[in-house]
Amino acid sequence: MAKPFVQLKGVQKTYDGETLVVRDLNLEIQEGEFLTMLGPSGSGKTTTLMMLAGFETATQGEIFLDGKPINQLAPEDRNIGMVFQSYALFPHMTVAENVAFPLQVRGISKSVIGDRVKRALDMVGLKGFDERRPAQLSGGQQQRVAVARAMVFEPKLVLMDEPLSALDKQLREQMQYEIKQLHHRLGVTVVYVTHDQGEALTMSDRVAVFNNGVIQQLDTPERLYEQPANVFVASFIGENNKLYGKVVDHDNGTCLVKLEGGSTLKSKSVSAGSAGSPVMLSLRPERVVINPPPGTCDVMVQARVTDVTYLGDHLRVRMVAFGDQLIVVKVPNASQERVVGADNDVQIGWRVDDCHALDVMA
């Protein structure tokens, strides 16, 4: 693998000298990569971004940019673009003046500034908006100005701190696409912070899932969803059916688990401990099939439908199995004729590889 463009080695952060907000963080980011830091509030993701930007100082450890240590550099000397959650535009300045600001503080000549500002505004689809002020723009337009300002001085690294959280759903999805396209077109390295898992899965080359100041898993979006490393990642990324029990036996990458209700299931062993260890079985709702054709599923279970909800592109079916265990199934809309109504008994099934046994103590 190529030499990392951004590297954090043994980085820790505490504000009170006792509680670690970020714990012994080691992270490498390649040049041109779009990496997202994802996690709940207080997980350490934003603090990590602020240390990288220079707005917070690492209590311990070293941060490198393009092979050079930057711990002692002021934010303005790191040559990093920054897009904030609040946009942070100057209300008394025009759009052009806001975008030009990073160039002015770097002492760029006026003739060069004009050309760069024009290119930056064209890049984000705001040609002709030069003389407007932030208050005359929509939320999405203000965010485009913030992105143009972060890109205008051609940094090799751009940091984005929950930049789309204030936008409505449709506009947020549109901006996700536009930022992703900009990244591909310019080849700039992007480090993005969000608590929105859908956003992270949509935009990123890799995602670092944070919890309690520690990266729980660093992986591609597909692997995070399909192969969660532990209970936290499985629970935080996407929707899950969670079945709890204890390991009975292991066999060639699978394990036999006895559920709390007494039933026994065969599952893929991801991080399950030895016999007697408590585990959580993670089973995605879309991996469960109702009344499957014979021979298509490894595991077959009787269940009773309690509720069917129409959600446009799919149906959400709630049912109980293994006594009183809630199971949720997502059925594509095209398959809705196969779904029976509430209070009906059905068979449900899934593949062993789709049911992951995860150590609850890890």
Q: Which of 231, 254, 279 is the last residue of a domain?
A: 231
Average pLDDT over every residue of 167-171: 84
- Radius of gyration of the chain measured on its C-alpha atoms: 25
pLDDT at 86: 81
Contacts of 228 (CB under 8 A, 6+ apart): 217, 234, 237, 270, 282, 356, 358
CATH number at residue 249: 2.40.50.100
How many structural domains does the chain have? 2
Q: Are residues 91 and 222 in the same domain?
A: yes
Q: Are residues 214 and 267 in the same domain?
A: no
Q: Which of 231, 253, 276 is the last residue of a domain?
A: 231
Q: Say if residue 92's pLDDT is above 60.
A: yes
Q: Which of 231, 249, 268 is the last residue of a domain?
A: 231
Q: Has residue 87 been placed in a domain?
A: yes
> pLDDT category, 338, cuts 50, 70, 90?
low
> pLDDT category, 35, cuts 50, 70, 90?
very high
Phi-psi region of 295 (alpha: psi -120 to 50; beta: other; left: phi over 0): left
Q: Are residues 116 and 183 in the same domain?
A: yes
Q: Are residues 179 and 286 in the same domain?
A: no
Domain that residue 295 falls in: 239-359
pLDDT at 346: 93
pLDDT digits (tens, 9 = 90+) for 221-246: 999 999 999 999 999 999 999 999 99
Contacts of 141 (CB under 8 A, 6+ apart): 126, 129
> pLDDT category, 313, cuts 50, 70, 90?
confident
Average pLDDT over every residue of 314-331: 93
> pLDDT category, 337, cuts 50, 70, 90?
low
Residue 312 CB burial class (10 angstroms; 0-12, 13-18, ≥19):
exposed
Average pLDDT over every residue of 322-329: 93
Average pLDDT over every residue of 33-51: 96
